[in-house]
Amino acid sequence: MADAQKTILKLILSLPSPVLRAMSGGGVVYKGGRTLDPRFQFFAHAAKKLPPMSSLSPAEAVAGSARGLAAVQGPLEPGVRTESLSIEGPNGAIPCRAYRPENQDSAAPLIVYAHMGGGVIGDLETCHAFCSVLARIVRTAVISVDYRLAPDHKFPAGLEDVLAAYRWARDNTARFGAASAPPAIGGDSMGGNFAAIVAQEMKRTGEPQPAAQILIYPAVDVASETPSMTTYADAYPLTRATMDWFMGHYMGADADPADPRVSPDKTEDLTGLAPAVIATAGFDPLVDQGEAYAKRLKAAGVPVLYRCYDSLAHGFTAFTGAIPAADSACREIAGLVKETFDQWVD
């Protein structure tokens, strides 16, 4: 049944843009100077018939998100093989998955990647297709981290798992045929939050900087208001209400939203951090803060490649099998990572 539904969905999404827009409540969706991709518009319209995530329990949200993403995610890239891993973390084993391309470049650094999900939902499947895109285009191994989730494991549990996985990967690059340089650290949304914090934490502890930081629509400031939080407050799939729901589960009663280990943009000194690839989505409450962090890094002398995909929405890395523009963006981001490695990594 799942395959049949996926086939029907693919046929619908192949319809001309005007038809898709007509099926999605009418005309073009235009906000903040941006026009939403018609396929994202279709999904946003369909989602109005479902209960909002903020009305669900975490368990219901985990299950519902997994079902939804399974229908829109692309396949594993050809020529990329996977391996299940178990890394010892601060609170037991951390499940991980390694991606190895057949044409791997032994001079390219390893990439450690953390999935999206607000620290509450998501798993290794959430970023499965995108990690394989990274592996194939950058021609390096990628390790995806299945970190602990709130509310059972509140801040800083997930962050501690990603830090532990990063340090383990740094000590085991040879096992994956990667360069001996420190790995790159990457992630999308909350995973981007973790990636930014890992780079900052390496500086705080005097450890080598990652080869690069890959921040895709990152949540870097949960303590401040920006115009995009209002303009795109009702965007699909990340609404302002959903953001509040995530943080309500992620942070304990004693957590400070302005703590740099929650909001890395609150760190005053950004000098000396790893070269960054930062990508944002136009229809996203987080778009302003991702752009602002890119500008702050540049001002601090950090090499930055920044792209905003104006027509796309938050979470687009998981839509590569349903939205051609999302697939193209993911491949461009992987190309930017390779460009960063070629230019800045010895």
Detail the DSSP E strand segments found in the chain: 30-31, 34-35, 80-89, 92-101, 111-114, 142-145, 184-188, 213-216, 276-283, 304-313
The residue type of 48 is K
Give me the pLDDT at residue 345, please: 85
Q: Which residue among the candidates 132, 189, 263, 311 is catalytic per the annotation? A: 189
Q: Which residue among the candidates 284, 288, 311, 327 is catalytic per the annotation? A: 284
Cα distance between residue 315 and residue 164, in whole Å: 25
84 is catalytic: no
Q: Which residue among the candidates 115, 128, 249, 314 is catalytic per the annotation? A: 314
Residue range 87-140, pLDDT digits in tens:
999 889 999 999 999 999 999 999 999 999 999 999 999 999 999 999 999 999
Give me the pLDDT at residue 1, please: 41
Residue range 53-84, pLDDT digits in tens:
999 999 999 999 999 999 999 999 999 999 99
pTM of the full structure: 0.97
CB 278 within 8 A of CB 286: no
CB 162 within 8 A of CB 95: no
Model confidence at 2, in pLDDT bands (50, 70, 90)? low
Residue range 196-251, pLDDT digits in tens:
999 999 999 999 999 999 999 999 999 999 999 999 999 999 999 999 999 999 99
DSSP sequence for 13-65 = HTS-HHHHHHHTTSS--EETTEE--HHHHHHHHHHTTS--GGGS-HHHHHHHH
Q: Which residues pair with 283 in a beta bridge?
A: 313
314 is catalytic: yes
189 is catalytic: yes
